[in-house]
Structure 1
Amino acid sequence: MSCEFRGKEQTPDIVALVMAAGVSRRFGSDKRRARLDDGRTLLETTLATVSQVYPRCWLITRPEDDLGEALAGYEDLHRMAAPHAGHGLGGSLGDAFRELISQQDSAIAAAVVLADMPWLNATTCASLNRHADSGRIVMPRHQGKRGHPVLFGRDLWPALAELKGGEGARDVVQANRQAVHAIDVDDAGIWRDIDSPRDLEAPV
């Protein structure tokens, strides 16, 4: 099952990048394969949310990855290997945006979705999409705290393509503060990720 748009409202052309190239050191095993209460894997759950909202998406993984059952139902999803994944999220992001640029992707923006955020609401993603613009960085905010996904307009892609390592795109965001649009949402899932097995417990 590839990522297909199932909503009723047409939105700007946005490509989703599902970042799943981490090594899960704090989790102790491959958290992408971890099962949630409903039996689905963590990665499968995130992809189910993404597929409701984004017309196109790429799954960013390590070159050596064989995810098998973690991708149940999504085996034909577009995959993108990140050769610099070992250098942190920034390395994977740099690889992904260099590839988008080399492909001359026509999207107005790219939504960076972390694969370990299974409680993110699809409605939140749809709300962010309505604010997408080629010169904007759009991010959700809940109870005064920002989270993910973050939509980067295509004008920011060259800066993101320069990333070689580190924690992510924080430096790019700080260098382009005037482009940041924080959108208030009623969704704690924007900052509830999975770092340890204990985090798999359903939210209260």
Structure 2
Amino acid sequence: MHSIAAILLAAGLSSRMGPQNKLLLDVEGEPLVRRVARAYLSVLDGPLTVVTGFEAEQVRTVLNDLPVHFAHNAAFAGGQPGSVATGLKHAPEAELLAVGLGDQPLLTPYDLTKLIAAQRAGDSKKITIPVHAGQRGNPIIVPRALRHRLTENPARPGCMRFTRDHPEHVQAAELDARGFYADVGYARRLREAVRTRQRGRSMTRTHLWLRRLLHKLKMTPEQADNIRFPCC
């Protein structure tokens, strides 16, 4: 059995980006979803299962030369829970299973390694979630013993509902790397950074960082204003 495998959710409608699929945004010369997939592949000893949905062919095209497996959620318009259920159905058995998002531009292999280490240092029977300053991040790490619990209620599948309904099965890993949280409050922070720059105020280090990220993603302020990322 594999030590750790992963599900990467890449099925969302990306409706708040207008005509642009955020997973295909250019980040330093490569599509965002490819950048994230490579980060996962560098730390896994098991398969990476990519769940596709919206613009599935385009997503597959930018990942086709990577050693990933694909699972298609035909009902992707129904939201993230169905994509998690699709991934769980197709991902192979492993001691640990990471469930993450395809749109985290700052997530690094080092971040993932730290999260896996935190899970192994804690209660091996619990789901591990990165947390910092009251924010929950992604991905989460699910032990094999709890994997089936995420789909035991077919009307409410997925990790978000389960981890909130069953806190006794969850442990927090205090990790401050920005890669885990770039999708939490991301639109608000980008919007404020852009507005601060436009008002001509001196910018904090955080604002400078956000400005650089905005440039990397090749996004307009209007696009940034409309992003809202889900959270497991």
Give 1:4's aligned residue.
Answer: none
Tell me, what secondary structure is at the counterpart of 1:111?
strand
- Contact 2:12 2:54 survives alignment (8 Å): no
Pairing partner for 2:105 from 118, 121, 130:
118
Report how far residue 163 of structure 1 moved: 6.0
Pairing partner for 1:202 from 212, 215, 220:
212
- Counterpart amino acid of residue 212 in structure 2: A
The one-character-per-residue Cα deviations of 1:113-134 (angstroms, maximum 9, x if unpaired) are 1000010122221122122466
Tell me, what secondary structure is at the counterpart of 1:53?
coil
Report how far residue 195 of structure 1 moved: 6.6
Pairing partner for 1:83 from 65, 71, 74:
74
- Contact 1:16 1:54 survives alignment (8 Å): yes
Tell me, what secondary structure is at the counterpart of 2:212?
coil
Pairing partner for 1:140 from 127, 130, 133:
130
| Cα-Cα RMSD | 2.9
The one-character-per-residue Cα deviations of 1:87-121 (angstroms, maximum 9, x if unpaired) are 10001111211234xxxx33012101100001012
Larger radius of gyration: 2
Tell me, what secondary structure is at the counterpart of 1:118?
coil
- Contact 2:132 2:174 survives alignment (8 Å): yes
- Contact 1:50 1:122 survives alignment (8 Å): yes
Q: Check 1:195–1:165 CA distance in 2 against 1; reply closer, same or farther (3 A cut).
A: farther
- Contact 2:129 2:171 survives alignment (8 Å): yes
Higher helix share: 2
The one-character-per-residue Cα deviations of 1:16-56 (angstroms, maximum 9, x if unpaired) are 111001110011121211112x1111111111211221122
Q: What stretches of structure 1 move > 6 A for 4+ residues in a row?
A: none
Tell me, what secondary structure is at the counterpart of 2:29?
coil
Give the Cα–Cα distance (whole angstroms) in 2 for the partners of residues 92 and 44 of structure 1: 18
Give 1:65's aligned residue.
Answer: 56
TM-score by length of 1: 0.78
Give 2:6's aligned residue.
Answer: 16
- Contact 1:93 1:163 survives alignment (8 Å): no
- Counterpart amino acid of residue 100 in structure 2: V
Report how far residue 170 of structure 1 moved: 2.1
- Contact 1:88 1:167 survives alignment (8 Å): no
Pairing 1:35–2:22 present: no
Give the Cα–Cα distance (whole angstroms) in 2 for the partners of residues 163 and 97 of structure 1: 13
- Counterpart amino acid of residue 202 in structure 1: R
Give the Cα–Cα distance (whole angstroms) in 1 for the partners of residues 51 and 73 of structure 2: 6
- The unaligned stretches of length 5 or more in structure 1 are 1-11
Residue range with higher mean Cα deviation, 62-71 or 43-52: 62-71
Pairing partner for 1:169 from 159, 176, 185:
159
- Contact 1:108 1:134 survives alignment (8 Å): no
Residue range with higher mean Cα deviation, 78-87 or 157-166: 157-166
Give the Cα–Cα distance (whole angstroms) in 2 for the partners of residues 107 and 113 of structure 1: 16
- Contact 2:130 2:137 survives alignment (8 Å): yes
